[in-house]
């Protein structure tokens, strides 16, 4: 074996935890060879998260123009409208795919020719930090890997998980209502019952075969070579299977993520791993590991439904109580905060935070607002709401309510995300104020399409230039918030933070950085009422609202000849108060 480093010895140990000795030795050799292969192809570069990091979540074909690669059109849109405001772009799966808007990957190492080529991906990566998806729990049934499995190719014979349908799998946690096993007919006419966690077109990979791990790592290295500095591990909680268990959050899953990080960092230590685990909050945060060995960022999945709950009830008591429980295992990790994504608004993350009655209330209100609901199968055969399918703006406001209220509520939630400790992720549709796309659902029959509309670039440009349009008002207001945020060191994702009890209608976070010399107290009124509240005595005055460049939001106490600690917030008002510690 080639000379290996101390960290490569750690890789060796991790592999031996996952595989029996005779397999582990083969795995070690193939993965070390892979590391040496990419060391000659990848140049490591300095990259650290800061307050300037804001990640746009978008499809590669989100904006389109005739006779132009959609990834090129996307780059033109970014350069024209967002350069200098947003520095990072998460391009959702741009690989050839057979379903699920890209998440049924046919070929890990190719770009969907309808979107463009690796040239366009590298062009975006040259000007923006690039986040890509590692869709490594499953692969398309139409992939060459699965076709070779059905053709009884010896190399691929154990790439997938075949299970006798009489085996008791009732303990397995199900994120969908679809069957866990799907029938396929191989080339000899034999029926093969194969594990499919999410759909028949998304066939789970078998990581007990070390060759699966080696090939997946090869794909992830390739993305880094093409410019990726952030890698999102999709549906990673389900990646390892042991019959007789729940097959979610298994020790081997955490060991596998730690191994992936260790291997990638041998070549590119700047790469950031983000785990996507749409599960109850206490389970979700376990993917931080020790704070130095697993994900550097974890999706803050409880935040989107809790913000909806707070707006609908005009009360932040639950949101603030939950936020006060947020802790991090080290100063090297942080939350990835968001409200909307290509998926729906997950409800599992608030299990145990909101009561069943409170969740049911959100479900009914979102349905009244034109949204849809997707369900998952429980072990007893019942179905429970899994996610809300709705544009985030429409989840907050009824279809007949005034657009001014719609805007205020939406901006309130987005400002909260920008002020939360961590790195903000902004879905393209939130940025432009998209509404429910019911025509798309009618066309596809898939609930999630309601929040996945694609735009003609010229039409969108017209909307964003039209005075008074909802899209322009939302886009301009959102960009202004981001522009202010990225110039404030106090929003550093690794700073210290505290959540304040000012009023049950108000959500307030106090963030400090720079040796705790500077702070921003971000205050958000979640009600349609004027709210008067008092700042704690330990907060030094004066404070100035960086959103209005005003230091006059406080009343003056004439009797004591000093500035009062009373502040008054208009309905849905946001204040970001800057001062010294």
Tokens matching residue 320:
């603030």
User: Residue 60 class from Cβ within 10 Å (0-12 exposed, 13-18 middle, 19+ buried)?
Assistant: buried
Q: Output the six-digit token pair for 324.
A: 């006060």
Ordered per-residue pLDDT tens for the chain, 581 residues: 455 566 678 899 999 999 999 999 999 999 999 999 999 999 988 889 999 999 999 999 999 999 999 999 999 999 999 999 999 999 999 999 999 999 999 999 999 999 999 999 999 999 999 999 999 999 999 999 999 999 999 999 999 999 999 999 999 998 888 899 999 999 999 999 999 999 999 999 999 999 999 999 999 999 999 999 999 999 999 999 999 999 999 999 999 999 999 999 999 999 999 999 999 999 999 999 999 999 999 999 999 999 999 999 999 999 999 999 999 999 999 999 999 999 999 999 999 999 999 999 999 999 999 999 998 877 777 788 999 999 999 999 999 999 999 999 999 999 999 999 999 999 999 999 999 999 999 999 999 999 999 999 999 999 999 999 999 999 999 999 999 999 999 999 999 999 999 999 999 999 998 666 789 999 999 999 999 999 998 888 889 999 998 775 554 454 554 567 899 999 999 999 999 88
Longest dimension (CA), the chain: 92
> Where would I find the H helices in 128-192?
144-150
- Residue pair 498/454 in contact by the 8 Å Cβ criterion: no
Residues taking part in catalysis: 234
Q: Could you say which DSSP state residue 205 is in?
A: B
Residues in the chain: 581
Phi/psi of residue 544, nearest 5 degrees? -125, 140
* 147-188: pLDDT as tens digits: 999 999 999 999 999 999 999 999 999 888 889 999 999 999
- Identify whether the C-beta of residue 545 lies closer than 8 Å to the C-beta of residue 553: yes
**Is 523 exposed, middle or buried (CB count within 10 Å of its CB: 0-12, 13-18, 19+)?**
buried
Find the helix or strand (DSSP H, E) in which 518 lies: strand 518-525
Q: Which position has the token pair 């039209």?
A: 466
| DSSP annotation string for 246-312 | --SS-HHHHHHHHHHHHHHHHH-TT-EEEE---S-HHHHGGGGTTTTSS-SEEE-TTHHHHHHHHHH
Do residues 5 and 32 touch, judged by C-beta distance below 8 A? Answer: no
Residue 423: closest CA among 55, 13, 23? 55
- How far lies 25's CA from each of 6, 11, 13, in Å? 17, 12, 11
Distance (Å, rounded) from C-alpha 296 to C-alpha 288? Answer: 7
CATH for 496-580, options being 3.30.230.10, 3.90.180.10, 3.40.30.10, 2.60.40.1180 = 2.60.40.1180
The structure tokens listed for 344 are 């729906």
Q: Structure tokens of 10?
A: 């750690």
Give the residue carrying structure tokens 């704690």.
536
Angle at 470 between CA 464 and CA 476, to 5 degrees: 55
Chain-centre distance for alpha carbon 94:
16
Q: Which residue intervals of 326-437 are DSSP H helices? A: 356-368, 392-396, 403-419, 428-431
Distance separating alpha carbons of residues 33 and 571, to the nearest angstrom: 61
Quote the pLDDT of residue 6.
65
Domain ranges (residues) in the chain: 496-580
Model-wide pTM > 0.85: yes
How far apart, in Å, do the first and last CA atoms of the chain sit? Answer: 55
Asked if residues 309 and 362 have their Cβ atoms less than 8 Å apart, the reply is yes
Q: What is the pLDDT of residue 558?
A: 47
Instruction: Answer for the pair 205, 139: CB distance below 8 angstroms, yes or no.
Output: yes
In 3D space, the residue among 1, 67, 54, 3 whose CA is nearest the CA of residue 30 turns out to be 1
Question: Who's near 378: CB < 8 A, 6+ residues apart?
Answer: 174, 384
C-alpha distances (whole Å) from 233 to each of 134, 249, 474 are 5, 14, 30
Please tell me whether residue 146 adopts helix, strand or coil conformation: helix
The radius of gyration of the chain from alpha carbons, rounded to an integer in Å, stands at 24
Say what angle helices 251-267 and 6-18 make with each other, to 10 degrees.
Answer: 150
How crowded is residue 186: how many other Cβ atoms within 10 Å of its Cβ? 12
Helix then strand then coil, % of the chain, to nearest 5: 35, 20, 40
The residue written with tokens 């890209």 in the block is: 102
CA within 13 Å, CB half, 453: 22
Which residues are bridge partners to 519 per DSSP?
Answer: 512, 579
How far apart are the C-alpha atoms of 3 and 310, rounded to whole Å? 56
Token digits of residue 66: 């005739």
Quote the pLDDT of residue 565. 86
CB count in 10 Å sphere of residue 376: 18
pLDDT in tens, 100-116: 999 999 999 999 999 99
Q: Where are the alpha helices (DSSP H) in 336-382?
A: 356-368
Give the CB-side neighbour count of residue 397, counting CA atoms within 13 A: 26
What pLDDT does residue 43 have?
A: 93
Euclidean distance between CA atoms 570 and 577, whole angstroms: 15
Q: How far apart are the C-alpha atoms of 360 and 362, rounded to whole Å?
A: 5
- 547/484 Cα distance (integer angstroms): 7
Q: Is 6 helix (H, G, I), strand (E, B) or coil?
A: helix
């Amino acid at each position: 074996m080639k000379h290996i480093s101390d960290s490569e010895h750690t890789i060796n140990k991790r592999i031996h935890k996952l595989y029996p000795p005779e397999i582990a030795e083969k795995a070690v050799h193939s993965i070390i060879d892979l590391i040496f292969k990419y060391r000659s192809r990848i140049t490591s570069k300095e990259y650290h998260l800061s307050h300037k990091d804001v990640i746009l979540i978008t499809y590669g074909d989100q904006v389109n123009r005739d006779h132009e690669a959609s990834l090129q059109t996307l780059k033109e849109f970014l350069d024209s409208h967002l350069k200098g405001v947003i520095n990072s772009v998460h391009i959702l799966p741009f690989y050839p795919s057979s379903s699920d808007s890209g998440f049924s990957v046919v070929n890990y190492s190719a770009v969907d020719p309808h979107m463009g080529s690796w040239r366009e991906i590298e062009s975006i990566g040259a000007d923006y930090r690039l986040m890509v998806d590692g869709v490594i729990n499953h692969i398309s049934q139409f992939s060459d890997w699965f076709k070779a499995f059905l053709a009884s190719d010896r190399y691929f014979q154990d790439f997938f998980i075949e299970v006798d349908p009489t085996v008791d799998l009732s303990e397995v946690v199900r994120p969908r209502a679809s069957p866990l096993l799907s029938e396929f007919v191989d080339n000899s006419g034999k029926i093969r019952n194969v594990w499919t966690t999410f759909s028949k077109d998304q066939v789970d990979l078998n990581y007990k075969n070390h060759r699966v791990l080696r090939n997946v790592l090869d794909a992830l290295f390739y993305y880094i070579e093409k410019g990726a500095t952030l890698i999102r591990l999709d549906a990673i909680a389900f990646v390892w299977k042991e019959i007789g268990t729940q097959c979610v959050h298994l020790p081997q899953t955490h060991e596998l993520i730690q191994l992936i990080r260790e291997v990638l960092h041998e070549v590119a230590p700047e790469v950031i791993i983000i785990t996507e685990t749409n599960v109850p909050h206490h389970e979700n945060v376990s993917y931080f590991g020790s704070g130095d060995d697993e994900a550097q960022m974890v999706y803050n999945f409880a935040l989107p439904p809790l913000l909806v709950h707070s707006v609908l009830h005009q009360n932040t008591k639950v949101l603030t109580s939950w936020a006060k429980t947020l802790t991090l295992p080290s100063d090297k990790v942080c939350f990835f905060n968001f409200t909307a994504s290509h998926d729906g608004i997950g409800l599992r993350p608030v299990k145990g935070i909101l009561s069943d009655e409170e969740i049911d209330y959100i479900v009914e209100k979102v349905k009244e607002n034109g949204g849809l609901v997707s369900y998952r199968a429980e072990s007893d055969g019942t179905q429970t709401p899994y996610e809300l399918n709705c544009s985030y703006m429409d989840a907050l406001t009824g279809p007949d309510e005034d657009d001014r209220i719609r805007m205020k509520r939406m901006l309130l939630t987005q400002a909260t995300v920008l002020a939360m400790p961590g790195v903000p992720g902004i879905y393209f549709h939130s940025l432009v104020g998209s509404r429910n796309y019911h025509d798309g659902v009618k066309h596809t029959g898939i609930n999630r399409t309601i929040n996945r509309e694609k735009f003609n670039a010229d039409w969108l440009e017209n909307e964003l230039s039209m005075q008074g349009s909802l899209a322009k008002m939302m886009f301009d207001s959102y960009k202004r918030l981001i522009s202010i945020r990225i110039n404030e060191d106090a929003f550093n994702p690794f700073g210290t933070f505290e959540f304040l009890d000012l009023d049950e209608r108000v959500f307030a976070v106090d963030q400090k950085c720079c040796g705790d010399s500077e702070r921003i107290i971000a205050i958000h009124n979640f009600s349609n009422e004027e709210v008067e509240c008092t700042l704690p005595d330990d907060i030094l005055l004066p404070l100035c609202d960086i959103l209005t460049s005003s230091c006059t939001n406080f009343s003056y106490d004439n009797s004591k000849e000093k500035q009062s600690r009373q502040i008054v917030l208009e309905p849905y008002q946001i204040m970001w108060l800057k001062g010294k510690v």
